[in-house]
């Protein structure tokens, strides 16, 4: 990265010069056609001792063969697939899969698509780095030409958004996780809460109990329901590989807060340099409340030690030279400048 007042290279641990299937059943018009997001399956079971039904695999292959170049795959009769695995069995297999990803570093590009009050579509795009450390540490730095313009982050207690596009009017918004109600998140002014992003990335282990598993209505995925910070999380997983196909988050009153579609896969590099678990390479995240869509692309994901700086908002405020009067603290019955 080029030498500049911005601390991006020091925080990301990146080289100095950065290189420039679907969750169905929720009726979101902004989401792409799930059929276009389907990727090839591999035969084999992610559950030791659990028999994968050959008939189910044949149904998938037969459906693809008969559909030819059509865009809509035919559903599979779930009566032919047999019962899904138990939740405890699936959670154990899934957790073995994600266990190595205690930390994750990757190059990223993000595009945010929104509608203005006059119905015009706006598109904002940046490139940078994604860093995360379970359970609540996340840093997404975005900018261009080595300069950071936006910073979405969280640690164990706080979450924040820095807007530094205007160098002469840098702003920051900070909130507490334990006060992050839907109303507070709306006041946060950013469509995607950091912990919601962590919820839909396939790096978080499932709890040992408290979830359910069923076949998705089209028979092409296992649908897992789990308790989540905002209410309920739903995951669609490939039945044979446990690859994440899509996700959704509902509030406690049933409101759909987020859906995510995935495309493609990339191998996460282990510290040994060997290939590790597979994760999606592209996420299309639809946010109905904000009438926005976030498109996240990931390259070169790897497991590596991470510094504390990317997850320290007070230190970041100083590094990015954001004055106290430009910091807004959001919370219940509160929205104030930190320096007032």
* Per-residue pLDDT at 56: 40
Is the model's pLDDT at 64 over the cut of 80?
no
pLDDT category of residue 153 using cuts at 50, 70 and 90: very high
Nearby residues of 244 by Cβ (< 8 Å), 6 or more positions away: 202, 235, 236, 237, 238, 262, 279, 280
Residue 258 CA to residue 201 CA, distance in Å, equals 13
Q: Which two tokens stand for residue 10?
A: 């020091």
Contact assessment for residue 34 and residue 248, using Cβ atoms and an 8 Å cutoff: no
pLDDT category of residue 135 using cuts at 50, 70 and 90: very high
Residue 229 CA to residue 242 CA, distance in Å, equals 23
Q: DSSP character for 275?
A: E
Look-up of token digits 């999606």: 280
Most confident of 11-25, 73-87, 276-290: 276-290
Residue 226 CA to residue 117 CA, distance in Å, equals 35
Is the model's pLDDT at 191 over the cut of 90?
no
- In degrees and rounded to multiples of 5, residue 252 shows phi and psi of -65, -20
Give me the torsion for CA of 132, 150, 28, 75, rounded to 10°: -40
Residue 250 CA to residue 296 CA, distance in Å, equals 21
Cβ-based neighbour number of residue 281 at 10 Å: 17
The whole model's pTM is what?
0.74
Largest CA distance in the chain: 67
Is the model's pLDDT at 92 over the cut of 80?
yes
| Residue 182 DSSP SS3 | helix
Residue 196 CA to residue 287 CA, distance in Å, equals 11
* Per-residue pLDDT at 35: 39
pLDDT digits (tens, 9 = 90+) for 168-180: 999 999 999 888 7
Lowest mean pLDDT among 20-34, 126-140, 211-225: 20-34
CA 184 to chain centre: 21
């Amino acid at each position: 990265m080029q030498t500049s007042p911005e601390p991006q290279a020091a925080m990301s641990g990146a080289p100095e010069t950065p290189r420039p299937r679907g969750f169905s059943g929720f009726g979101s018009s902004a989401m792409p056609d799930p059929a276009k997001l389907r990727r090839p399956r591999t035969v084999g079971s992610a559950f030791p001792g659990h028999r994968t039904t050959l008939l189910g695999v044949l149904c998938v292959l037969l459906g693809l063969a008969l559909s030819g170049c059509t865009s809509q795959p035919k559903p599979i009769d779930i009566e032919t697939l047999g019962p899904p695995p138990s939740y405890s069995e699936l959670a154990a297999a899934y957790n073995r899969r994600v266990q190595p990803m205690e930390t994750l570093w990757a190059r990223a590009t993000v595009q945010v698509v929104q509608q203005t009050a006059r119905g015009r579509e706006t598109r904002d795009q940046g490139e940078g780095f994604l860093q995360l450390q379970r359970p609540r540490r996340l840093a997404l730095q975005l900018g261009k030409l080595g300069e950071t313009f936006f910073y979405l982050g969280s640690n164990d207690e706080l979450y924040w958004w820095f807007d530094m596009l205007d160098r002469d009017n840098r702003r920051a918004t900070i909130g507490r996780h334990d006060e992050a109600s839907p109303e507070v998140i709306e006041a946060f002014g950013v469509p995607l809460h950091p912990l919601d992003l962590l919820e839909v990335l396939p790096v978080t282990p499932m709890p040992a109990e408290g979830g359910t598993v069923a076949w998705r209505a089209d028979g092409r995925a296992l649908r897992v329901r789990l308790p989540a910070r905002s209410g309920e999380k739903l995951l669609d997983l490939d039945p044979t590989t446990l690859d994440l196909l899509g996700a959704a988050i509902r509030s406690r009153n049933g409101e759909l807060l987020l859906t995510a579609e995935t495309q493609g896969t990339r191998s996460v590099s282990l510290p040994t340099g060997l290939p590790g678990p597979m994760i999606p390479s592209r996420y299309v995240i639809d946010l109905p409340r904000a009438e926005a869509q976030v498109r996240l692309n990931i390259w070169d994901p790897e497991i590596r030690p991470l510094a504390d700086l990317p997850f320290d908002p007070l230190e970041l405020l100083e590094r990015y030279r954001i004055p106290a009067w430009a910091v807004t603290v959001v919370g219940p019955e509160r929205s104030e400048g930190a320096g007032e």
